[in-house]
Structure 1
Amino acid sequence: MRHYAIGDVHGHLDKLQSAMALIARDRDRVDDPKAPVVQIGDLVDRGPDSKGVIEFMIEGVIRGEPWVTLLGNHDRQFLWWLEDPERRDPVLKTEYTWLHERIGGLTTLASYGVDITAPISEMHRQARSLVPDDHIDFLNAMPNRYTRDRLFFAHAGIRPSVPLDQQTEDDLIWIRGEFHNHPDPHDALIIHGHTPVKAATHYGNRINIDSGAAWGHDLSAVVIEERKAWLLTVSGRVPLPHQDPHFSLI
């Protein structure tokens, strides 16, 4: 089976539209309109148009596009803040909140028209009025994993010592070091984002497709056929660079 995947979008609607266009071009070339497209999570924060990104994904689902959008840690923080601005993600570093400039929640609120200079209580009141219910429903419905044909997609990765069907959401959307540094094969090829790298890279047992769109770099769109993967570019497919899985990222 053929699968397409898109890295962390982080509020960059223009980059998301460009990635989808590359996928559409490759689909036409191979005549495969039904291959799933998995967006790896983190639709929101840091970039200028989180609202537009969510709206774009909703419109695609309504049209019947075979799109799967996974839950990322930023998406969950947005949802939790809407429920209760005092609620903290237990995995987030203690010096940060969702509204911290490094996290990017303020840019998400601004995309909905919230006055981000107001007190938090007023920002929350405005957000509850301005964020459409269908956006909240869409975020709440996002799965934290997608698996098919010995491929396992998750925003951040998996905990190596735990069976795939027993992974916790905290690990699926937050894990880094233990997963990155694990050199041995998993029960499936893991496709993830969450930790930016210079370019989407195949590590043998996992593929990292977060190429740092949040920080001004390209948004990666890839195609995966069995265990082979290519980056989609305006010039066509380019094989992903390979990295020895024994290399320590962290």
Structure 2
Amino acid sequence: MRSYAIGDIHGHFDLLKRQHDLIADDSARHGAAPVIHLGDLVDRGPDCAGVIQYLMDGIAAGQDWLVLKGNHDRMFSGYLDDFHFHDEGLRRDLSWLHPKLGGVATLASYGVKNAGERPLRPVWEDAVAAVPQAHRDFLAGLLTKHQRGDIGFVHAGIRPGVAWDDQTETDLIWIRDGFLIDPYDHGLLIVHGHTALDAPQHYGNRVNIDSGAAYGGPLTAVAIEGREVFLLTPAGRVPLRP
């Protein structure tokens, strides 16, 4: 069973299109398969609105694409829905518009300027007016996990010892502690992002493909055959092994 997966995008539309080109080249050689995007479509990068529109348009046109929800996507949705929203996974001393989170860049991509320098209420009102309802509906409808064969796709990870069907949304989009240090077999091979690395890594029981696009690094796409994982490059597949 073949699948493709793409790591955390964070508003880098140009990088996303390049990874889709690599997937198209690989599919021409090996056959088509679903593409799973692991979430964090928005924040920090320059064209968050463009990323969402591109994914919506592709799915509407019949592309076999699946998009999962990341913590940044939920923070964006929650902000638009409620001026007082604070995501339960986020430290209490931070807000989505804090420079560490990147929400200002997301709003700028929708034409809401200087969001980090103006009073909060007018910024929120401008954001609600600027973000199309179709984008809000798309984000609200994102899944938090997906299974294909022996592979479990999530944004952040899973809670070890908890059954796949019993995982909570907050763990699936936020978890680090407990998951990243757990060496045991999860049954499924977990393919995830959320925790940025210099390069994708295979740990035996999980594969992290967040290669730090949010911080100037590359965006990663992989092909998965059964439980084998291959990094996609312009020169072709490179095996990614524990």
Structure 1 and Structure 2 fold alike (TM over 0.5): yes
TM-score range, shorter chain: over 0.9
Deviations 1:71-104 (A, max 9, x none): 0000000000001121101111122110000100
Q: Any conservation in 1 of the 2:232–2:238 contact (CA below 8 Å)?
A: yes
What residue is the counterpart of 2:21 in the other structure? 21
Deviations 1:30-67 (A, max 9, x none): 1x22x110000000000011000001100100110010
What residue is the counterpart of 1:142 in the other structure? 142
What residue is the counterpart of 2:44 in the other structure? 46
- Separation in structure 2 between the aligned mates of residue 83 and residue 213 of structure 1, nearest angstrom: 27
Q: Given residue 185 of structure 1, which amino acid in structure 2 is its aligned partner?
A: D
What residue is the counterpart of 1:247 in the other structure? none
Give 3-state SS (helix, strand or coil) of 1:125's partner. helix
Q: Given residue 81 of structure 2, which amino acid in structure 1 is its aligned partner?
A: E
- Separation in structure 1 between the aligned mates of residue 188 and residue 87 of structure 2, nearest angstrom: 28
The alpha carbon displacement at 1:142 in A equals 0.4
Q: Any conservation in 2 of the 1:70–1:143 contact (CA below 8 Å)?
A: yes
Q: Any conservation in 1 of the 2:156–2:195 contact (CA below 8 Å)?
A: yes
What residue is the counterpart of 2:122 in the other structure? 122
Q: Any conservation in 2 of the 1:40–1:192 contact (CA below 8 Å)?
A: yes
Are positions 1:61 and 2:59 aligned together? Answer: yes
The alpha carbon displacement at 1:126 in A equals 1.1
How do 1:1-250 and structure 2 match up within 5 A? 1-30=1-30, 32-33=31-32, 35-115=33-113, 116=115, 117-242=117-242
Q: Any conservation in 2 of the 1:164–1:187 contact (CA below 8 Å)?
A: no
Q: Given residue 40 of structure 1, which amino acid in structure 2 is its aligned partner?
A: L
- Separation in structure 1 between the aligned mates of residue 213 and residue 231 of structure 2, nearest angstrom: 15
- Separation in structure 2 between the aligned mates of residue 53 and residue 189 of structure 1, nearest angstrom: 27
- Separation in structure 2 between the aligned mates of residue 151 and residue 231 of structure 1, nearest angstrom: 16
Q: Given residue 209 of structure 2, which amino acid in structure 1 is its aligned partner?
A: I
Q: Given residue 68 of structure 1, which amino acid in structure 2 is its aligned partner?
A: L
Deviations 1:198-223 (A, max 9, x none): 11111111110000000000000000
What is the number of residues matched between the two proteins? 240
Q: TM-score, normalised by structure 1?
A: 0.94
Q: Any conservation in 2 of the 1:54–1:135 contact (CA below 8 Å)?
A: yes
Q: Which contiguous aligned blocks of 4+ residues in structure 1 show a shift greater than 2 angstroms?
A: none
Q: Given residue 87 of structure 1, which amino acid in structure 2 is its aligned partner?
A: F
Q: What do you get for the CA RMSD once the two structures are aligned?
A: 0.9
Q: Given residue 97 of structure 1, which amino acid in structure 2 is its aligned partner?
A: S
Seq. identity, %: 51
- Separation in structure 2 between the aligned mates of residue 123 and residue 25 of structure 1, nearest angstrom: 42
Runs (5+) with no aligned partner, structure 1:
243-250
- Separation in structure 1 between the aligned mates of residue 39 and residue 147 of structure 2, nearest angstrom: 15
- Separation in structure 1 between the aligned mates of residue 224 and residue 46 of structure 2, nearest angstrom: 30
The alpha carbon displacement at 1:164 in A equals 0.5
Q: Any conservation in 1 of the 2:229–2:241 contact (CA below 8 Å)?
A: no
Runs (5+) with no aligned partner, structure 2:
none
Q: Any conservation in 2 of the 1:231–1:237 contact (CA below 8 Å)?
A: yes
- Separation in structure 1 between the aligned mates of residue 231 and residue 188 of structure 2, nearest angstrom: 20
The alpha carbon displacement at 1:239 in A equals 1.2
Q: Given residue 10 of structure 2, which amino acid in structure 1 is its aligned partner?
A: H
